[in-house]
Amino acid sequence: MNVARVHHTASTLTNGYVLVTGGWGDSAELHNPSTGTWTTTGNMNTARAVHTVSTLTNEYVLVTGGVKNDVALNSAELYSPATGTWRMTGSMNVARAAHTASILANEYVLVAGGWDGSAALNSAELYNPSTDTWTTTGNMNSARYYHTVTTLANGYVLVTGGFSIGVGILNSAELYNPLTGTWTITGNMNTERYYHTATTLANGYVLVAGGWDGSAELYNPTTGTWTMTGSMNVAREGHTASTLANGLILVAGGYNIDVGYLDSAELYNPSTGTWITTANMTARREFHTASTLANGSVLITGGHNRFGMLNSAELY
């Protein structure tokens, strides 16, 4: 990449290019999968990190919140792939970073939780792409940031784990019903987790992995319960998880409290519930991004390790 980045975002555009944004600055750039090269595109209006990104059905890319100079942001902006430029859109009602964003079936974007600069948030709000405005929706039952979010087949939104100041790492999970705008508690995970990953499997179950330890577990949306599955070979947090064309789940990098920054990667087989190691990345990295390309490759970008922020990228 042209710029070293950590806590940035990566999103795949309809033309197959990958847009990366921010990571403590305001710059953005595009990866061309055909040539493997990067080109800069328009800068965001505001520098931000630990923000969210959502590709809307109108092909615009929405970024929300994050932090700038350790101050949480309520601003949001839209990227036009056609012009390579950004414009401000309506601001959220609450400044937040380390939150989550999900696109609902009605094309609204749900943001939930996060950190406002002093405390964890339980609030949630909805972005209407047609009007560029935000409206509040039901509060979560638990304030949380650095949690995960997954949209289930029935349209409900599952959030898991995270961290809350004064409480610590969470094992709770809850469901958002877009029809009622309310949250309900679902089964607790067996393990407290944050900086973990959550991936929807072909059978509709949700795999959560890591978050300081190496354990993994499966959420059954039908019963609302969790069952342990095979543990990873290496405990990790701040890693990525990607679904491959063959149905295996690739986790890569992260941080291990005993080893430090990781270059290791492993594959989860949903059929057997087991993990096998695969080739190491060329660089150790945490808080990087992973994007699955149209050709099935996985693009890893940026992150940091003991040498600082990284501008390197690699393909699996």
CATH of the domain at 289: 2.120.10.80
Give Cβ neighbours of residue 246 (< 8 Å, ≥ 6 apart): none
Count of domains for the chain: 3
Q: Are 113 and 162 in contact (CB under 8 A)?
A: yes
Of 172, 188, 204, the residue at which a domain comes to its end is 188
- Map tokens 């595009």 to a residue: 30
The pLDDT of residue 153: 95
Quick count: other Cβ atoms within 10 Å of Cβ 168?
Answer: 9
The pLDDT of residue 55: 96
The pLDDT of residue 4: 98
Map residue 79 onto helix, strand or coil: strand
Cα–Cα distance, 304 to 286 (Å, whole number): 5
56 and 109 housed in the same domain: no
184 and 282 housed in the same domain: no
User: Domain range holding 130?
Assistant: 95-188
Give Cβ neighbours of residue 280 (< 8 Å, ≥ 6 apart): 263, 264, 265
The pLDDT of residue 304: 98
The pLDDT of residue 309: 98
176 and 291 housed in the same domain: no
Rg (Cα) of the chain, in Å, rounded? 18
120 and 221 housed in the same domain: no
The pLDDT of residue 269: 98
Of 91, 115, 138, the residue at which a domain comes to its end is 91
- Residue type (1 letter), 297: S
104 and 80 housed in the same domain: no
104 and 13 housed in the same domain: no
124 and 21 housed in the same domain: no
Nearest to 147 by CA among 126, 127, 124: 124
178 and 294 housed in the same domain: no
Q: Are 99 and 145 in contact (CB under 8 A)?
A: yes
- Map tokens 């902006």 to a residue: 77
- Is the full-model pTM beyond 0.75? yes
124 and 84 housed in the same domain: no
Cα–Cα distance, 89 to 77 (Å, whole number): 5
Residues in the chain predicted with pLDDT less than 70, given as ranges, are none
Of 158, 188, 218, the residue at which a domain comes to its end is 188
The pLDDT of residue 212: 83
225 and 283 housed in the same domain: yes
Cα 133 to chain center, whole Å? 23
pLDDT tens sequence across 243-277: 999 999 999 999 999 999 999 999 999 999 999 99
155 and 231 housed in the same domain: no
Cα-based distances in Å from 89 to 60, 203, 257: 12, 37, 40
Quick count: other Cβ atoms within 10 Å of Cβ 282?
Answer: 11
4 and 35 housed in the same domain: yes
Cα 234 to chain center, whole Å? 21
| Residue 125, CB-side half-sphere exposure with 13 Å CA sphere | 22
The pLDDT of residue 195: 98
- Residue type (1 letter), 315: L
Cα 188 to chain center, whole Å? 21
